[in-house]
Structure 1
Amino acid sequence: MGAHHISTDTSRVRRWLDGEQPREPIPRIMSELFSERFGCVVPVEDLGLRSAHQSPSESGVDLPWAGPQTVQLINEFSRSDLMLGRRGFLGASLALSAGPALVEPMQRWLVPPSLGGFPTPAVGVPRDTGNRPNRLSEPELQLLETTTVMFRTWDSQCGGGLRRKAVVGQLHEVTDLLQESHPEAVAKRLYRVTGDLAALAGWMSYDVGLQPTAQKYFVLALHAAKEAADRPLGAFILSSMSRQMIHLNRPDDALELIHLAQYGSRDSATATTQAMLHAVEARAYANMGQVSKCHRAVRMAEDSFTDARKGEDPDWISFFNEAELNAENAHSYRDLAYVAGRSSTYASLAHPVMERAVELFGQDSVHQRAYALNLIGMATVHLLERNPEQAADMTHKAISVARKVRSERVNTRIRKTADTAMRDFGDIAEVIDLSERLAVELPEVAETA
């Protein structure tokens, strides 16, 4: 493993067995050796080489803001994710952070990074690279960047469940590269790729229902984006965290995160990114029942989008097109309707905007998951307007699209919408047919990552 300064003998092993705590990198080496021998991740805690109680900085989201530690944490976390099933160590050991425990550590994203040169391996055990030149060529860097673009397209077309492990594997490989020596400009590009991949791994984990895992990837992605000195990417990652908090019914946390994203990228984000941030802000305000602030954020999203220049945008914001703008604003109005006690006024505001989103996504062969989600959104608007037959029709269409994508988020929303339809309009023939089809074609079963 390249740690030529490490040696051991039987007396040292006895001391370890008696409780002596060896210094790094010995615990990591032992974890690697046991993991390789047994074919599963054996954490250092299980070897008794470190206290089984982890501090928040090791197990939660309050992590050190430094490049070497960031690389090591992503490397170890992605390795564990790859080697263990979704019901294994990761799922059992992680818990969601929320409130000040989540927001306050993220605020340190704004502290200027201490990026210096990268003359030595960044972290952990030095790696033996053999005869391979310890330099990445420009074509190799470009290939890493275009591969990330390809993964993002797969996620939009197929959902998070089909290619998630491939993204995690690529992320792990890139962190291996970051443990070698690179010029600062190359290291920054590698950190940018790392942040992009970790954010995508988080989004795909969120999509299949692995919420603590998703949050951990998002946090690690934000750390990598900071090392890359890429404020707009960091803002995008924070927006993904905000969306997750909205999904988990924590709009206060969502608003804190999106305001942090807006403040941190106010001088660097493109108009498209600013529009997206305002749209997510509107969703947070809607779920808090703050009507005027929601309307204001919707208008700002629309105004910013009119200034968008496609050639200025990085690939990670390419999803935010006219269809997505309409979808976000429609969902804000729809959410206001629910918060206001199923208000028909806000449902009527949502209807034409959601209808436009469905129309545009129906012409798009790439963003199939978004199409399914907005068909469901249209169905919920019909239910708010007490049009169960139209709601059933939209949900039928959503089921047909959902069968082509691996997204537990889509499946869950379909089931929830169908349950609401049955509860409110269970005697309508179209609703009964929908419930019967759902039981056959989209049964509630545990999916694999």
Structure 2
Amino acid sequence: MTGKPPNELLNSWFQRSGWSKGELARLVNKRARQLGAAHVSTDTSRVRRWLDGEHPRDPAPRILVELFSERFGTVITHAELGLREPAAPPATSGVDLPWAGRRSIELLGDFARSDLMLNRRGFLGTSLSLSAGPSLIEPMKRWLSPVPEQHSVNGRLPGRVTAEEMDRLEETTRLFRGWDAQCGGGLRRMAVVGQLHEVTELLRDNYAPALSERLFRTAAELALLAGWMAYDIGMQPSAQRYFVLALHAAREAGDTPLGALVLATMSRQMIHINRPQDALELVHLAQYGSHGTTTARVQSLLAAMEARAYANLGDSDNCRRAVAAAEDLFPGDFPAGQDRAERGSNGAGGDRTRGGDPSWIAFFTEAELYGENGHSFRDLAYRYPQLTEQAAKNIDRAVELLSADDSYLRSRALNVVGMATVRLQQREPEAAVAYLHGGAELVQRLRSKRVEDRLRTTAGNLFARYPDVRSVREVHERTLAVLPAAA
């Protein structure tokens, strides 16, 4: 006996998790080994004592916070588990970083290097924690503070990159983006991280302002992509750290539209972990900070993400307004798929399509707009069922536009599974089954935990509602067969 009252909060989360004491002990030990804490050896008796009120020793509280946050898909704090906050958070956690160019270079390089080393040793992540609420939003507001004038620093080597080599670095970044859209984040993420590390090494030297801006812009794009790939495979704290560093690099490049894209991507992550109010604040910060500097296509993307946040908040009126804005802003003279064929570089770091858009927004095609707006209506339809038909029309149009284009295979898979969720909302199990078979076919061509999780969840929900329907049982068995075992 501990002599202390039981930890009711930890008990409550534990009961809802569905874990046994032995399962939780094994997960704690596994995560401790990934963190290099080989001395941690937890068993069922130890877990029982925690539930009975004993306070676990470091690093167990931090591990428990990470495990329960991942289990429930939202940020769970030490206090919510009935655990004491650490006296001093690790230096690598948090997002309130100094907004200084040289420091940003060091942080980017150090984080990319640690990511490379951890993966070489077989680890899947780092000891970072995920920030949310004011601790995330307040530091991000400083991205609009003026960038100090850059001066050459004595003792640094002259720049090693020519304008022609810079063109090739930018082209490589575009190639990486194409790989991600086609294959998912799990296949070539470390190649992106390695390239990011190389670029940060180059940034340690002195360059003329125009070339320095191009290098920072490339670093920002690579950090954003590394974060996006980490997000896609479920490494949420690492993804957030890359996003924050990408925002710092975009600020150093003086590229507010790229910074707005970073904030929109962070907004998407907040929706993913069920923090829609944080998502809304981030996208509003992106819209405010980039006002008057972005193209119509970028503005359309921001409006679509605003709609997603409002949908998850259940705000039908503002969601509809944002959906209409996204549709009105989207440039109608670029048919879906045209961007990639017309992509080019102006040789001066602009890296734009023929329509004046940055190349990094080329993914936001007509199909992507339909998919985003369709998912907004789908999310609203959980509260307002009459909107399911609007969700179906939009997502089905996205599937149609993407059906002949393997360049955006992950988007196609996400929309196919999205259509299955809508048919489930409409109580049409046979129609949902057809889309799930399509999703099971596509998921085998990808390395994307997001697609896997959505397919598993949707198939499980369909089976839970219609267990006696033969086709439902069959598609449920097929999805379980093609998906990796759940973590």
Give me the TM-score of the superposition, normalised by structure 1: 0.82
Aligned residue number for residue 222 of structure 1: 247
Aligned residue number for residue 331 of structure 1: 375
- Within the candidate set 416, 427, 432, 1:391 is matched to 432
The offset of 1:57, in angstroms, is: 6.8
| 2:202 is the alignment partner of 1:177 | yes
Supply the AA of the counterpart residue of 2:407: V
Aligned residue number for residue 135 of structure 2: 101
Deviations 1:200-252 (A, max 9, x none): 00000000000000000000000000000000000000000000000100000
Query: Could you tell me how far apart the structure 1 residues matched to 2:211 and 2:180 are?
Result: 27
In 2, are the aligned partners of 1:61 and 1:105 still within 8 Å (CA)? yes
Aligned residue number for residue 18 of structure 1: none
- Within the candidate set 302, 309, 313, 1:288 is matched to 313
In 2, are the aligned partners of 1:209 and 1:408 still within 8 Å (CA)? yes
Aligned residue number for residue 408 of structure 2: 367
Please show how residues 36-51 of structure 1 align to structure 2 within 5 Å: none
Please show how residues 206-245 of structure 1 align to structure 2 within 5 Å: 206-245=231-270
Please show how residues 114-129 of structure 1 align to structure 2 within 5 Å: 114-120=148-154
Select between 83-92 and 383-392 the one with higher mean Cα deviation.
83-92
| 2:119 is the alignment partner of 1:85 | yes
Query: Could you tell me how far apart the structure 2 residues matched to 1:175 and 1:425 are?
Result: 53
The offset of 1:444, in angstroms, is: 2.0
Aligned residue number for residue 29 of structure 2: none
Query: Could you tell me how far apart the structure 2 residues matched to 1:97 and 1:118 are?
Result: 35
| 2:167 is the alignment partner of 1:142 | yes
In 2, are the aligned partners of 1:171 and 1:198 still within 8 Å (CA)? yes
Aligned CA distance change for structure 1 residues 88 and 443 (closer, same or farther; 3 Å): closer
Supply the AA of the counterpart residue of 2:405: D
- Within the candidate set 158, 172, 176, 1:151 is matched to 176
Query: Could you tell me how far apart the structure 1 residues matched to 2:267 and 2:121 are?
Result: 25
Aligned CA distance change for structure 1 residues 429 and 86 (closer, same or farther; 3 Å): farther
The offset of 1:136, in angstroms, is: 1.6
Select between 421-430 and 287-296 the one with higher mean Cα deviation.
421-430
Deviations 1:94-142 (A, max 9, x none): 0000000000000000111113223446xxxx6xx7xxx7432111000
Aligned residue number for residue 265 of structure 1: 290
1:311 alignment partner, SS class = coil
In 2, are the aligned partners of 1:270 and 1:312 still within 8 Å (CA)? yes
In 2, are the aligned partners of 1:57 and 1:63 still within 8 Å (CA)? no
Supply the AA of the counterpart residue of 1:320: F
In 2, are the aligned partners of 1:337 and 1:345 still within 8 Å (CA)? yes
Aligned CA distance change for structure 1 residues 56 and 285 (closer, same or farther; 3 Å): farther
Query: Could you tell me how far apart the structure 1 residues matched to 2:177 and 2:118 are?
Result: 23
Aligned CA distance change for structure 1 residues 395 and 118 (closer, same or farther; 3 Å): farther
Supply the AA of the counterpart residue of 2:423: H
Aligned residue number for residue 216 of structure 2: 191
In 1, are the aligned partners of 2:307 and 2:323 still within 8 Å (CA)? yes
Unpaired runs of 5+ residues, structure 1, are 1-39, 43-51
- Within the candidate set 456, 472, 484, 1:415 is matched to 456
Supply the AA of the counterpart residue of 1:110: L
Supply the AA of the counterpart residue of 1:365: D
Query: Could you tell me how far apart the structure 1 residues matched to 2:324 and 2:482 are?
Result: 40
In 2, are the aligned partners of 1:115 and 1:227 still within 8 Å (CA)? no
1:93 alignment partner, SS class = coil
In 2, are the aligned partners of 1:275 and 1:300 still within 8 Å (CA)? yes
For these two proteins, the number of residue pairs brought into alignment is 387
2:119 alignment partner, SS class = coil
Unpaired runs of 5+ residues, structure 2, are 1-33, 37-85, 335-353
Aligned CA distance change for structure 1 residues 84 and 345 (closer, same or farther; 3 Å): same
Quick one: higher RCO (CA 8 Å, sep 6+), 1 or 2?
A: 1
2:151 alignment partner, SS class = coil
Query: Could you tell me how far apart the structure 1 residues matched to 2:333 and 2:307 are?
Result: 19
Aligned residue number for residue 440 of structure 1: 481
The offset of 1:439, in angstroms, is: 2.0
In 1, are the aligned partners of 2:467 and 2:473 still within 8 Å (CA)? yes
In 2, are the aligned partners of 1:272 and 1:308 still within 8 Å (CA)? no
Query: Could you tell me how far apart the structure 2 residues matched to 1:325 and 1:120 are?
Result: 49
- Within the candidate set 260, 264, 272, 1:247 is matched to 272
Query: Could you tell me how far apart the structure 2 residues matched to 1:440 and 1:285 are?
Result: 36
In 2, are the aligned partners of 1:41 and 1:83 still within 8 Å (CA)? no
In 2, are the aligned partners of 1:329 and 1:353 still within 8 Å (CA)? yes
Select between 307-316 and 95-104 the one with higher mean Cα deviation.
307-316
| CA-atom RMSD in angstroms | 2.2
Query: Could you tell me how far apart the structure 2 residues matched to 1:104 and 1:57 are?
Result: 19
2:186 alignment partner, SS class = helix
- Within the candidate set 320, 334, 342, 2:364 is matched to 320
Q: Percent identity?
A: 53
Aligned residue number for residue 377 of structure 1: 418
2:150 alignment partner, SS class = coil
Query: Could you tell me how far apart the structure 1 residues matched to 2:407 and 2:224 are?
Result: 19
Supply the AA of the counterpart residue of 1:117: H
1:140 alignment partner, SS class = helix
Query: Could you tell me how far apart the structure 2 residues matched to 1:402 and 1:91 are?
Result: 23
Aligned residue number for residue 300 of structure 1: 325
The offset of 1:425, in angstroms, is: 1.1
1:366 alignment partner, SS class = helix
The offset of 1:430, in angstroms, is: 1.1
Query: Could you tell me how far apart the structure 1 residues matched to 2:92 and 2:455 are?
Result: 37
Aligned CA distance change for structure 1 residues 60 and 75 (closer, same or farther; 3 Å): same
Deviations 1:370-410 (A, max 9, x none): 00000000000000000011101101101111101100000
